[in-house]
Amino acid sequence: MLFYFGGAQSSMNNFFFRIYEYSFGKVDEIEKVQLKSELKLYAAAFFALALTFCTYSIFELFLTRKFYQSLDEFRPVPQADPSAPQPAFNPEFGQTPGKVYPNVR
């Protein structure tokens, strides 16, 4: 994209036209002008897409690095199975639940 917008646009267009004419036959001047404008449009759209992807990738790497730095420590997962099933534990439900439904008469 940088080469295309950096000055090699005419040589790249000529290359694309040669390939197009070899595959589909001769192209007159009016069609060449239309194809040049379409190539510019496609190149600009691809450039915008590539810029969006690069911005997203940089943002993603920044968030990954920030998340990695916020970790306290790394504890590897044990590879052996536990000798007995672990008991269920939830400190929020340590007490017996109170009345759930009202008395309906």
Residues 27, 36: contact at Cβ < 8 Å?
no
**Contact call for residues 20 and 35 (beta carbons, < 8 A):** yes
The pLDDT tens digits of the residues spanning 12-62 come to: 878 878 888 888 888 788 888 888 888 888 888 998 999 999 999 999 999
Confidence of residue 102 (pLDDT cuts 50, 70, 90): low
The token pair that represents 84 in the structure block: 């007995």
| 101 or 64: which leads in pLDDT | 64
CB 41 within 8 A of CB 9: no
- The answer on pLDDT for 103 being more than 80 is no
Q: What is the pLDDT of residue 67?
A: 86
- Give pLDDT, residue 60: 95
